[in-house]
Amino acid sequence: MSGMDSTATCKSWSCTPRLHVVGRAGKTSFALSFSQEVMADVLGLSVPHLNRMMQRLRSERLIAGSERQVEFLDPGAIQAFAHYQPQELAPIPLPA
């Protein structure tokens, strides 16, 4: 089992504002284009641990959604939970 906890998992989702800016997510939700197995691997978690963390976030009513869709029910609360501090986003150049 990895040393990462749900706080680290939440921090990994801090890309949501960037996804919104480029039209790949709603203001408080985004679609996962990969499986939970891939997500667990990228985060260095086992699939069961990732599932437990997702269930914890759901039970605390911080997120909702299905396996491939995540919605932040209370963005302020999840940002506080993850100790998130927004930063100015630099534009990503589009390929020619």
Q: What is the CATH number of the domain that holds 48?
A: 1.10.10.10
For residue 93, tell me if it sits in a domain.
no
**Assigned domain for 53 exists:** yes
Task: Lay out the sheet containing 63-64: strands in order across.
Answer: 29-31, 69-72, 63-64
61 is a domain residue: yes
Would you say 9 and 46 are in contact if contact means Cβ atoms under 8 Å apart? no
In a domain, 10, yes or no: yes
What pLDDT score was predicted for residue 52? 93
- CA-based Rg of the chain, rounded to a whole angstrom? 14
Instruction: Specify if 92 maps to a domain.
Output: no
Whole-model pTM: value is 0.64
Q: What is the mean pLDDT of the chain?
A: 79
Give the tens place of pLDDT for each residue, 30-75: 888 888 899 899 989 999 999 999 899 999 999 998 778 889 899 8
Per-residue model confidence (pLDDT) at position 60:
92
